[in-house]
Amino acid sequence: MIEIKELSLKIKDKDILQDISASFADGKIHGLVGRNGCGKTMLMKCICGFIRPTSGTVRVNEKLIGKDTDFPESLGVIIETPVFIPYLSGYRNLKILSEYKHLIGKQDIYDVLKAVGLENVGKLSVRKYSLGMRQRLGIAQAIMEDPDILVLDEPFNGLDRQGVLEIREILLGLREKGKNIVIASHSEEDINILCDDVLRMENGRLI
């Protein structure tokens, strides 16, 4: 469970988020929608512990982010455009990331590359990837360690129609496994197909 209570964020005297309270239960896909600049990405960063709110709290599985722990445990993230080391292969990028926690091995990385449709280009340097391929690799890094929570900001950016369908199936499968998934998307179709509940934001508030 993710619980947000009376959360506000102010940067340089500008109100970015204002008095947000919400909860996201496990086993569901939760949608955040709204125009660019409405605060969706900043709210996601607060959930992940990347930004500390000015006031209010974020709790993940009863742990207060910023006090009990700096970041939620078992978290997979895409926020803004995924960045990788361009001269290394997709496989090598994931291998380096996997070495921080040592939760997965070589075969797990091959399996996740296959799951996102990159099994044939895993050895190709990322600088040669298209935008859609980079997005697939970003999804691979988010899910490769089988996290309990996924926070995905515009996960379908750059994907062609087939890619969108494939990633939707992955997310629906993860929901069936009881994962807690929060996504932001400009696509009404994606939101309608995937999400169990939807929160709309405007000017830093939930409306």
pLDDT at 80: 81
- Total of domains in the chain: 2
Please provide the average confidence, as pLDDT, over all residues in the chain: 93
Record the pTM.
0.92
Instruction: Tell whether 79 is covered by a domain.
Output: no
Q: What is the pLDDT of residues 38-81, one digit of tens each?
A: 999 999 999 999 999 999 999 999 999 999 999 998 999 999 87
Amino acid at 46: C
Looking up tokens 């964020």 gives 9
Domain end position, chosen among 96, 128, 147: 147
Q: What are phi and psi of 133, to 5 degrees?
A: -65, -40
Can you give the residue range of the structural domain that contains 94? 86-147
Q: E-strand spans in 42-167?
A: 55-60, 63-64, 75-78, 149-153
Candidates 11, 39, 10, 60; CA nearest to 199 is 39
pLDDT at 81: 78
Instruction: Tell whether 127 is covered by a domain.
Output: yes
Instruction: Tell whether 102 is covered by a domain.
Output: yes
When pLDDT is averaged across residues 87-108 and rounded to a whole number, the result is: 94
Domain end position, chosen among 147, 164, 189: 147
Domain end position, chosen among 131, 147, 163: 147
Query: Based on the domain organization, do 36 and 127 belong to the same domain?
Result: no
